[in-house]
Amino acid sequence: MLRILIIDDEANIRNMISNIINGYCNSAKVIGQAGSVREGIEKIALLDPDLVLLDVKMGDGTGFDLLEKIEKISFKTIFITAYQEFAIKAIKFSALDYILKPVDPDELIKAVNDAAKTIEESQTAQLEYLRHNLVVQNIQDKKIMLKTTESMYVVPVQNICCCVADGGYTRFHTGDGKKILVSKPLSEYEDLFSDCNFFRVHKSYLVNLHKINCFRKIDGGYLLMEGEIKVPVASRKREQLLELLEKFTE
C-alpha cells in the first residue's frame, strides 16, 4: 500500500485530493496532510511517507525549499503547481510527475497509480538484488544497486572499473562504458568494497584491481584501466599499490 502525504497550503485542495485518492486508488492511502513548508518537514519526519504530493508555492516558501531542507530524501515526489514552467525544475528534483492546478481527478489518479507501480518495481528489484547477494559465494559475483536521479541500476561488482569522487557524489565507470552518478560520497563505497579487491589509489579514486591494464610511471604515476580510463596515483599510495599488483600476478 502506497502511503501518501499531501502538502499544500489550501485546505480545500488537500481534502479534495485526499478524497479522490482514498476513493479511487486501491493501492494507495493518504496518511496525513500539511499546510506549510514547516509543517510538511515535521510530517515527513513523523510519518515517513512513500510519496509526497507537494505544492510548489506556499505561504512560507516553496516545495523546492522543503526538499532542500531535508537531509536524506527517502520518498518519491509529485509536484502540484499552477505554473507550467515549474515542471522543468521539478524534473531536476527527480519528481515522478507533476499535476497542474486546477487538479484533474483523472490525471491525479493516473499519477498516483504510476507512482505505486514505479515504487513496487523498485522494491522488487531491490529484493532480487538482495536475494542474489545472499546466495553468491564469490565476492566478485556480488551486485550493487546504484540509484541516480532518473534511474536505478543493478551492476555486477566485477563490472565496475573505478569510482570517482565528484563533490559529495560518486561517479561509477563500468566496463561497458557507462557513467553512473549517485548521491553518496566515495568513502561509503570504499568501506562497502573493502573485501572486493578495490583500492583507493587517490583521494578521489577507488579502483577495481581486476580492471587495471597497467601502471605507468610517467607524469607522476598513473593507472590505465579497462576502457582507457586514466587514473592518477597518489605518491603515498604507490608502494602499497605495487605490492598489491605483485600479489595479483603471482
What angle (nearest 5°) sits at the alpha carbon of residue 86, between those of residues 66 and 184? 50
64 confidence band (pLDDT: 50, 70, 90): confident
DSSP code per residue over the chain: -EEEEEE-S-HHHHHHHHHHHHHH-TTEEEEEEESSHHHHHHHHHHH--SEEEEESEETTEEHHHHHHT-SS--SEEEEEES-TTHHHHHHHTT-SEEEESSPPHHHHHHHHHHHHHHHHHHHHHHHHHHHHHHH--SGGG-EEEEE-SS-EEEEEGGGEEEEEEETTEEEEEETTS-EEEESS-HHHHHHHTTTTTEEEEETTEEEEGGGEEEEE-GGG-EEEETTTEEEE--HHHHHHHHHHHHHHH-
What mean pLDDT do residues 148-155 have?
A: 78
Which of these ranges, 4-13, 127-136, 206-215, has the smallest mean pLDDT?
127-136
The superfamily (CATH) of domain 137-249 is LytTr DNA-binding domain (2.40.50.1020)
Cα 36 to Cα 87: distance, rounded to the nearest angstrom: 20
Q: Which three cell numbers stand for residue 245?
A: 599488483
Q: Which residue has the higher pLDDT, 106 or 116?
A: 106
Which residue ranges make up each domain of the chain?
2-126, 137-249
Q: Which residue has the higher pLDDT, 220 or 112?
A: 112
Q: Tens digit of pLDDT for each residue in 5-27?
A: 999 999 999 999 999 999 999 88
In this predicted structure, what is the pLDDT of residue 85?
64
Classify domain 2-126 at the CATH topology level: Rossmann fold (3.40.50)
In this predicted structure, what is the pLDDT of residue 92?
46
Within 10 angstroms of residue 154's Cβ, the number of other Cβ atoms is 13
Backbone phi and psi for residue 126, each to the nearest 5 degrees, phi listed first: -65, -40
Long-range contacts of 65-72 (CB under 8 A, 24+ apart): 65/37, 66/7, 66/37, 66/40, 66/41, 67/93, 69/37, 69/41, 70/41, 70/44
Percent residues over pLDDT 90 in the chain: 46
pTM check: above 0.85: no
